[in-house]
C-alpha cells in the first residue's frame, strides 16, 4: 500500500476533524486546562514551600553557605584558606557581648565581618556600608528600635561591650543599616577592623585561645564559612576536610542542615504522589473518554482514509495532532490560571499553617514540570483511541458502531422489557466508559469527604492546650521568642504575682520556677543511663555525642532541671506512673521525676528511678536534699521552658519547698484562668502592664491560639474544597459528555424505538435511569473504597499533628447524592435527539 508522507496534509485533516466537533473540543479544552490548573497549583505550592523551608532553615542557621568552623585561631584559619576543595571562603570575628539594658530582651552579637560573610549571613547593609572607622558600627533595624532611634545613618549609640576580659563603653556612629529578614536570626552589631584589632585581637595561637576560654569567652576567635562544589553529602565532605587539615575533635564544625531539610520526607512524597495520581487519573478519565468518543464518531472517516492508502502511523499522527492543537490552548491556560491561584493559596498556608518566609516567585521549572505532566496525561489518554484506529480495517470501519461492536453474545433469557431494564442493558454495552465516568465522579466525593474528615479530626482543645494550658501565660519576653538564644527563666517577680492576683474575674493563678544544672548518678541509675545512651546515640548529632559521652561516662552526670510548682500548675502535670495527691506532695518530702523518653509505650519503665526510691536533688542554692519519688511524669510543654535534652531528668517539687532552697524568689512563668466576662478587661490590663510598667515582660493568651486554630481549619477547607470542586467539575463534564454523545450516537435507535411504540416519556425515563444508575454506582464506590482509604490517607497527612484525633464524616457523601441525582435527571432533558414532530406525538 502506498504511503502518504505529507505532514501538511495530516495537519489539514486534523484541523477539519476539529472544526466538525467544536462542542467536543470546548469540553476537551476545559478538561485539559483543569488538569493543568491542578498540576500547576500542586507543583507551585509544594515547590514554594520547599524553597521557603530551605530559606527559613538558612535563617535559623544564620547563613546560606554549605559549612563552616567555629572559634579558630589565626594559624588554623590560614591552614583552611590553603585548601583547594572549598570556595567562597569568608569569615567573621567575635568581638564581645553588649551589656546595654536596652538589648537585654533580644539576643545581640558584636562582631567584625567582611563584605562576603555579611552577604551570605543576610546582614549586608541595605543603606550605607560596613564600618571602616574605629567609632563606626553597622547594625540591623531591631537594634535601633531597642534604642528608640529612627532608621537613619549617622545615629549615635552608646554601647557597653564586654569581651570577657575587658570592657569598653563609648559612642558609635551608625554607618550601615539593614532589616533583619526573620526573628530566627540574632541581632548583629558590626564594628570596624580597627576597633576589633584594638579591643579583641585575633587569637594567634592556642595559648591565646585558652586564656579567653578560661573565662568562657570566644572574643577574638575567627568563624569562617565556605562552600563546597555542591551540596551533596555535606557531612562526608566536612569530615574529609577536617582530615586534610588535621583538625581534631576539639574543632567545632558546622554543616548547613538547610540543604537537607529542603528535601521531601517519605510521608510528603506519598501525599504528593497521591495528589498527582488523583489529578492525572481524573484528567485521564475525561480526556480519554472524549478522544474515544471522537474516534468512534469519526471511525467511518478514518476507514475511508485507510482505503486511499493512509497508514496506521499516519492515522495515529492525526489523532495526536488534534490532541496537540487543543493542548496548545488548554495547557498554557491551565498553567497560568494555576499559578495565579497559587498566589492566593500560598499566603494562606504561610499565615495559617507553616509560618515560614515563603514568597511567591516565578519559577520556570514549575511550569515546565506541570506542562510535562499535563501533556503526559493527554498523551496517555490518546493510547486507546490510537489503538482503535490502528486495529480496525476499512471494511469494519464502514459498519462500525461502538455499542454494537462491544456487545458480547449471551445466552437468551426471557425477562420483562421496561425502560429500567433497557437502561441497565444500555450501560452494559460499553462497560469501560461507564466505569470511567463512575470513577471520575467518585474521586470528587472521596476528596471532599477526605477534606471534611481531616478538618473534623482537628481537635481544638488538643491544639490550644499544646500551646496554652491556661487563659493567660506571663513571663519574660525572651521566653516567647521562638529562637531566642538567651532566654530569661527568672522574669516573674513577687510584685508581678501580687499585681495579677488583683485582677477582676480571677479564677485561679499559679507560678512555675526552674533551675537548670546537673544530676550526679551512680549505681543502678548509672547503668540505666548508660544503656539508654547506647540506644539513642545514633540519633544524636556527632558534636552532641562527644559532650554527652564525657558527661555520662567520665563525670557520671546528666543534665537536670529542678521545678517548683504552685498547686494550679501541679494539677496540670502529665503523669506516666503514680497519682496526683496535692496534700501529700505539698509536705515537701516527695518529688516527681521525669522519664527520658516522651511518647514511648512505657515512659515510666525508661525512668532512671522508680516510685519509692529516695533520690538526692541538687537545689538552686547548691545544697543537696533527699526526696522520695511519688510519681513519674512531666510538666506540659506549654508550661515548661520550651526545651529538652536527649538524656536528662527533671525533678518536680512544690514551690514552697523549692523557694526554701533558692537564692532567687523569681519565677519562670505565671498562669491565670479568668472568668469569660472579664477576658477583654484582663487582656487590656496585661497589655498595659507589660508595655509600660514591666516592658521586659510579655504574655500569651488561649484566645490567640483559638484564632490560629480556626484559620488553620479554614485553610485546609479552602484548599481541599477547591481541589474537590475541580475534580467534581471534571467528573460532571465527563458525565455530561458521555451522556450527550451516547444519546446523539443512538439518535436513530431512539427514533426507531419511538416508532415501534415507546412513548417520549418512556424513552426519557430510560435515559434518566441510565444516569441515575451511574450515580448510584458512584455513591457505592465512594462509600466503599472512599471510606476504606479515608483513615489511611488522613493518618498520612495529619497523624503526627499535635491536635489530631481521627473523626470519620460521611455527610459530604450524603449531600452529594441529591446533587448528582439532580444532574442525572436534568442532563438527558437538555439534549435534543428528536424532531419537533416527535414532541407532538408524545
Q: What's the CA gap between 535 and 532, in Å, rounded?
A: 5
| Model confidence at 678: pLDDT above 70 | yes
Taking residues 117-138, report their average pLDDT.
93
Query: From CA 475, how far away is CA 569, in angstroms rounded?
Result: 15
Residues 431, 443: Cα–Cα separation, whole Å? 18
Instruction: Assign 510 to helix, strand or coil.
Output: strand
| pLDDT tens sequence across 336-384 | 887 777 776 656 555 554 444 445 556 777 778 888 888 888 888 777 7
Find the radius of gyration of the CA atoms of the chain. Answer: 36
CB count within 10 Å of CB 412 equals 5
**Cβ–Cβ under 8 Å, residues 40 and 338:** yes
Are the CB atoms for 190 and 136 separated by under 8 Å? no
pLDDT per residue over 643-674, tens digit each?
777 788 999 999 999 999 998 899 999 999 99
Confidence of residue 486 (pLDDT cuts 50, 70, 90): low
Per-residue pLDDT of 13-71, as tens digits, reads 767 766 766 767 777 787 788 777 777 777 776 666 666 666 766 776 778 899 999 88
Integer Cα distance of 379 and 385 in angstroms: 11
Confidence of residue 406 (pLDDT cuts 50, 70, 90): very low
Describe the chain by its helix, strand, coil percentages, rounded to 5: 55, 15, 30
Q: What is the pLDDT of residue 347?
A: 61
Banded model confidence at residue 837, pLDDT cuts 50, 70, 90: very low
pLDDT tens digits, 588-610: 999 999 988 654 556 677 888 99
| Cβ contact 188:139 at 8 Å | yes
pLDDT at residue 544 in the model: 67
Model confidence at 504, pLDDT cuts 50, 70, 90, reads very high
- Name which residue leads in pLDDT, 461 or 656: 656
Q: Which of 161-165, 425-429, 436-440, 809-813 has the lowest mean pLDDT?
A: 425-429
Give the model's pLDDT for residue 157: 94
Task: With 0.85 as the threshold, say if the pTM is over it.
Answer: no
What share of the chain in percent tops pLDDT 90?
A: 27
pLDDT in tens, 617-626: 999 998 999 9
* pLDDT score, position 1: 40
Asked if 562 and 620 touch (Cβ cutoff 8 Å), the reply is yes
Percent of the chain with pLDDT over 70: 79
Choice among 67-76, 264-273, 707-716, 744-753 with the minimum mean pLDDT: 264-273
Strands 557-565 and 648-654: parallel
* 783 pLDDT higher than 80: yes
- Over the stretch 786-828, which tens digit does the pLDDT of each residue have? 888 788 877 777 666 667 788 888 888 888 888 888 888 888 8
Amino acid at each position: 500500500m502506498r504511503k502518504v508522507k505529507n505532514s501538511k496534509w495530516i495537519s489539514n485533516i486534523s484541523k477539519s476533524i476539529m472544526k466538525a466537533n467544536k462542542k467536543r473540543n470546548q469540553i476537551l479544552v476545559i478538561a485539559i486546562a483543569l488538569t493543568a490548573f491542578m498540576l500547576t497549583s500542586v507543583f507551585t505550592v509544594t515547590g514554594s514551600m520547599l524553597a521557603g523551608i530551605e530559606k527559613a532553615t538558612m535563617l535559623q542557621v544564620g547563613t546560606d553557605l554549605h559549612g563552616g568552623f567555629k572559634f579558630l585561631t589565626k594559624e588554623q584559619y590560614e591552614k583552611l584558606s590553603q585548601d583547594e576543595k572549598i570556595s567562597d571562603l569568608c569569615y567573621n570575628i567575635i568581638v564581645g557581648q553588649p551589656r546595654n539594658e536596652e538589648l537585654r530582651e533580644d539576643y545581640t552579637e558584636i562582631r567584625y565581618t567582611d563584605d562576603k560573610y555579611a552577604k551570605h549571613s543576610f546582614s549586608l547593609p541595605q543603606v550605607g556600608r560596613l564600618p571602616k572607622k574605629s567609632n563606626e558600627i553597622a547594625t540591623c533595624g531591631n537594634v535601633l528600635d531597642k534604642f528608640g532611634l529612627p532608621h537613619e545613618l549617622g545615629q549615635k549609640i552608646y554601647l557597653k561591650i564586654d569581651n570577657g576580659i575587658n570592657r569598653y563603653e563609648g559612642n558609635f556612629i551608625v554607618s550601615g543599616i539593614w532589616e533583619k529578614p526573620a526573628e530566627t536570626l540574632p541581632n548583629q552589631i558590626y564594628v570596624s577592623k580597627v576597633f576589633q584589632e584594638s579591643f579583641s585581637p585575633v587569637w594567634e595561637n592556642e595559648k591565646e585561645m585558652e586564656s579567653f576560654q578560661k573565662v568562657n569567652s570566644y572574643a577574638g576567635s575567627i568563624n569562617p564559612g565556605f562552600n563546597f562544589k555542591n551540596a551533596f553529602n555535606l557531612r562526608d565532605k566536612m569530615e574529609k576536610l577536617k582530615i586534610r587539615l588535621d583538625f581534631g575533635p576539639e574543632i567545632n564544625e558546622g554543616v548547613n542542615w538547610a540543604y537537607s531539610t529542603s528535601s521531601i520526607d517519605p510521608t510528603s512524597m506519598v501525599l504528593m504522589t497521591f495528589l498527582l495520581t488523583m489529578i492525572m487519573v481524573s484528567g485521564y478519565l475525561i480526556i480519554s473518554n472524549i478522544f474515544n468518543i471522537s474516534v468512534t464518531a469519526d471511525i467511518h472517516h478514518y476507514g475511508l482514509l485507510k482505503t486511499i492508502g493512509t497508514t496506521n502511523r499516519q492515522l495515529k499522527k492525526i489523532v495526536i495532532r488534534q490532541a496537540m492543537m487543543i493542548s496548545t490552548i488548554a495547557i498554557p491556560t491551565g498553567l497560568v490560571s494555576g499559578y495565579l491561584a497559587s498566589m492566593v493559596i500560598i499566603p494562606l498556608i504561610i499565615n495559617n499553617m507553616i509560618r515560614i518566609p515563603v514568597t511567591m516567585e516565578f519559577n520556570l521549572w514549575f511550569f515546565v514540570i506541570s506542562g510535562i505532566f499535563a501533556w503526559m496525561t493527554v498523551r496517555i489518554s490518546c493510547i486507546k483511541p490510537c489503538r482503535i484506529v490502528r486495529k480496525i480495517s476499512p471494511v469494519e470501519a464502514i459498519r462500525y458502531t461502538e455499542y454494537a461492536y462491544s456487545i458480547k453474545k449471551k445466552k437468551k433469557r426471557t425477562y420483562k422489557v421496561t425502560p429500567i431494564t433497557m437502561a441497565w442493558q444500555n450501560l452494559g454495552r460499553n462497560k469501560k466508559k461507564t466505569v470511567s465516568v463512575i470513577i471520575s465522579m467518585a474521586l470528587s466525593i472521596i476528596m471532599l469527604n477526605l477534606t471534611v474528615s481531616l478538618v473534623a479530626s482537628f481537635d481544638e482543645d488538643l491544639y490550644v492546650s499544646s500551646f496554652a494550658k491556661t487563659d493567660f501565660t506571663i513571663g519574660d519576653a525572651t521566653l516567647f521568642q521562638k529562637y531566642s538564644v538567651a532566654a530569661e527563666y527568672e522574669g516573674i517577680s513577687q510584685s508581678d504575682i501580687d499585681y495579677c492576683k488583683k485582677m477582676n474575674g480571677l479564677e485561679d493563678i499559679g507560678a512555675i520556677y526552674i533551675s537548670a544544672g546537673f544530676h550526679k548518678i551512680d549505681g543502678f541509675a548509672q547503668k540505666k543511663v548508660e544503656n539508654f545512651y547506647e540506644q539513642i546515640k545514633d540519633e544524636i548529632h556527632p558534636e552532641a555525642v562527644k559532650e554527652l559521652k564525657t558527661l555520662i561516662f567520665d563525670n557520671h552526670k546528666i543534665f537536670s532541671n529542678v521545678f517548683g510548682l504552685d498547686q494550679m500548675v501541679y494539677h496540670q502535670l502529665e503523669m506516666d506512673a503514680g497519682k496526683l495527691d496535692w496534700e501529700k506532695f505539698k509536705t515537701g518530702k516527695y518529688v516527681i521525676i521525669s522519664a527520658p523518653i516522651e511518647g514511648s509505650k512505657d515512659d515510666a519503665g525508661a525512668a532512671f528511678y522508680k516510685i519509692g526510691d529516695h533520690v538526692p536533688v541538687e537545689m538552686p542554692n547548691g545544697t543537696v536534699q533527699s526526696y522520695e519519688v511519688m510519681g513519674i511524669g512531666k510538666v506540659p510543654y506549654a508550661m515548661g521552658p520550651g526545651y529538652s535534652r536527649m538524656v536528662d531528668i527533671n525533678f518536680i517539687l512544690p514551690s514552697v519547698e523549692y523557694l526554701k532552697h533558692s537564692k532567687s524568689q523569681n519565677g519562670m512563668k505565671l498562669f491565670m484562668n479568668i472568668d469569660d466576662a472579664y477576658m477583654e478587661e484582663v487582656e487590656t490590663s496585661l497589655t498595659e502592664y507589660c508595655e509600660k510598667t514591666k516592658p521586659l515582660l510579655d504574655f500569651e493568651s488561649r484566645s490567640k491560639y483559638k484564632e490560629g486554630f480556626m484559620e488553620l481549619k479554614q485553610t485546609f477547607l479552602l484548599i481541599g474544597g477547591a481541589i474537590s470542586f475541580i475534580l467534581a467539575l471534571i467528573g460532571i463534564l465527563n458525565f455530561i459528555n458521555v451522556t450527550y454523545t451516547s444519546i446523539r450516537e443512538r439518535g436513530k435507535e431512539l427514533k426507531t424505538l419511538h416508532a415501534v411504540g415507546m412513548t417520549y416519556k418512556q424513552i426519557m425515563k430510560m435515559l434518566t435511569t441510565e444516569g441515575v444508575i451511574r450515580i448510584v454506582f458512584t455513591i457505592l464506590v465512594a462509600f466503599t473504597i472512599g471510606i476504606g482509604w479515608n483513615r489511611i490517607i488522613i493518618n498520612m497527612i495529619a497523624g503526627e499533628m499535635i491536635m489530631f484525633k481521627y473523626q470519620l464524616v460521611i455527610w459530604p457523601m450524603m449531600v452529594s447524592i441529591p446533587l448528582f441525582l439532580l444532574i442525572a435527571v436534568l442532563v438527558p432533558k437538555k439534549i435534543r435527539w428528536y424532531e419537533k414532530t416527535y414532541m407532538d406525538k408524545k
